[in-house]
Amino acid sequence: MAISVLAIVVTRNLFSVIVLSGAYSFLMATVLVALDAVDVAMTEAAVGAGISTVLLLGALHLCKSLEAKPAHKPWLPLAVSVATGALLVYGALGLPDFGDPDAPIHKNVVPRYMKNEVEVPNVVTAVLASFRGYDTLGETTVVFTAGAGVIALLRRRKQGSEKASGDA
Amino acid sequence: MLAHFSNIITVFLMVAGLFIIIARGNLIKKLIGLSLFQTSVYLLYITPGKLIGGTAPIISPQYTVYSNPLPHVLILTAIVVGVATLALGLALAVRIREAYGSIEEDEILERDRGVEAEEAKEARS
Amino acid sequence: MRNDLVLRVIGRLMIPSILLFALYVQFHGDFGPGGGFQAGVIVAAGIVFYALIYGVTATRRLVPDSVVETMVAAGVLIYAGVGLAGLLLGGHYLDYSVLGHDPVHGQHRGIFWVEVGVATTVCGVMLKIFYMFTSRGNSED
């Protein structure tokens, strides 16, 4: 996965970058299965590797497929990124160990979810639709809004208004 | 150190995404960097929920130890919102390309500066 | 690509199974991995696959824009409607327990309809976005 990420960073041909990011998504889905997040892995495989790739290719079809050579040397961004990374690693050392059952994340609301009050065996579905129904409603609205935004941005204007905006 | 290996991978992915966003001028490349950053956030959320010896959170009499379902729910919605925002960003990039003829940040800024200079000249004359 | 025999045959085989799998994921989401989000995305992916093989025009004839746009709005309305139904039947907003004759049954029913709403919106939005990008491309060529 790290290799494909490095390849994404250095490659300038956007087509290969998109194919690489699809491969990266599949690898990420595999990692998620290993981490027991089967629902998330399924979504990631369908969304990241399927829909995003198609969308990126569709957008690429409308744009130039070769990235311009960077005008200036990327030392400053590199320094900023490395500094941020070092800070984050330092912070990560204070987190609970991997797979520690006593971590705070497992102690608060989760035991109640696991009692399975709604008798739906897949707890992810139960939490998604029932316990956190408001979140999911808001989130569906976000998806709806994004779709409306894309429609507003990309809808083909009628001939008259096209001319009017061209004159302006 | 080994206990934090997953976090270090997460940080590496995050930094790679951040680097692409800052250093590259191409808008589509920037969006790919953004989605890299997003996937690193997925890992950041999912890894603490994993229990060693645990299984996927689907209740069944055979198992007693389950991984934490809460991060899965949060990230599930995040992925779908992520692709929706990615599409919105791509739509913006396409419109920018139609208006400016380019999706390179430098060229767009240059054109903006040119337009501003012309406007200033017109205002003076 | 429309005349490539291999693609056509594989497409014929794959697309129904993709759609069937999406339905399985949707309605079996209570018991195994799956749910509205995944099902919506998988249906959209299946239709995008169809578009890649048979062309966007054929797909637009099969799944017209008006249907897709209706799906986008209908999903959110179904979700909000489930909440309102709970309210009308005397519970709180998005409280599913009152939807059935006993709380557990009501929860099942509520989760089912909510997932249907989510799947409809997600699938509609993905397809709409895909159509928007492809139609832009045709207009410029």
pLDDT at B68 over 70: yes
User: What is the average pLDDT score of chain B?
Assistant: 79
Q: Is the dihedral of CA A43, A44, A49, A51 positive or negative?
A: positive
B63 vs C44, higher pLDDT: C44
Can you tell me the mean pLDDT for B44-60?
A: 73
Residues of chain B in contact with residue C129, where contact means CB-CB under 8 angstroms, are: 84, 87, 91
pLDDT at B61 over 60: yes
pLDDT value of residue A166: 41
A36 — contact with chain C (CB < 8 Å)? no
Residue A149 lies in a domain: yes
Lowest mean pLDDT among A107-116, A154-163, B1-10, B49-58: A154-163
Q: Which domain holds residue C135?
A: 5-140
pLDDT at A162 over 50: no
How many structural domains is chain A composed of? 2
Whole-number Å distance between alpha carbons of B78 and B83: 9
Contact assessment for residue A81 and residue B19, using Cβ atoms and an 8 Å cutoff:
yes
What part of C 3-22 touches A (C-beta under 8 Å)? none
Question: DSSP letters of A130-163?
Answer: IITHHHHHHHHHHHHHHHHHHHHHHPPPPHHHHH
Domain match, A2 and A61 both: yes
**Four-way CATH pick for B2-124: 2.130.10.10, 1.10.287.3510, 3.40.50.720, 2.60.40.1220:** 1.10.287.3510
Instruction: Write out pLDDT tens, residues A14-53.
Output: 777 777 788 788 888 888 887 777 788 888 888 877 788 8
* Contact between A42 and C25 using a beta-carbon 8 Å cutoff: yes
pLDDT at A72 over 70: no
Residue A46 lies in a domain: yes
Nearest by Cα to C40 from C115, C128, C129: C115
Structure tokens at B46: 């999912």
Neighbours of C101 (CB within 10 A): 8
Can you tell me the mean pLDDT for C87-93?
A: 75
Nearest by Cα to C25 from C52, C50, C44: C44
DSSP 8-state assignment for residue C11? H
Q: A61, A124, A135: which to substitute to probe chain B, counting the most B Cβ within 10 Å?
A: A124
Nearest by Cα to C136 from B89, A149, B99, A153: A153
Out of B8, B26, B83, closest to residue A47 by CB: B83
| End residue of a domain, out of A41, A67, A93 | A67
* Domain spans of chain B, in order of start: 2-124
Question: DSSP letters of C14-28?
Answer: HHHHHHHHHHHHHHT
Lowest mean pLDDT among A67-71, A131-135, C27-31: A67-71
Would you place residue A163 in the very low, low, confident or very high pLDDT band (cuts 50, 70, 90)?
very low
Can you tell me the mean pLDDT for B72-85?
A: 84
Instruction: Write out pLDDT tens, residues C102-138.
Output: 777 777 777 888 888 888 888 888 888 888 887 775 5
pLDDT at A71 over 70: no
Contact assessment for residue A88 and residue A80, using Cβ atoms and an 8 Å cutoff:
no
Q: C129, C130, C136: which to substitute to probe chain B, counting the most B Cβ within 10 Å?
A: C129
Domain match, A57 and A117 both: no
Structure tokens at C112: 């089912």
How many structural domains is chain C composed of? 1
Q: Is the dihedral of CA A143, A157, A58, B21 positive or negative?
A: negative
Taking the CA of residue B58 and the nearest CA in chain C, the distance in Å comes to: 7
pLDDT at B117 over 70: yes
Q: Which domain holds residue A36?
A: 1-67
Would you place residue A130 in the very low, low, confident or very high pLDDT band (cuts 50, 70, 90)?
confident
**Can you give A28-60 as a three-state secondary structure string?**
HHHHHHHCCCHHHHHHHHHHHHHHHHHHHHHHH
| End residue of a domain, out of A67, A92, A115 | A67
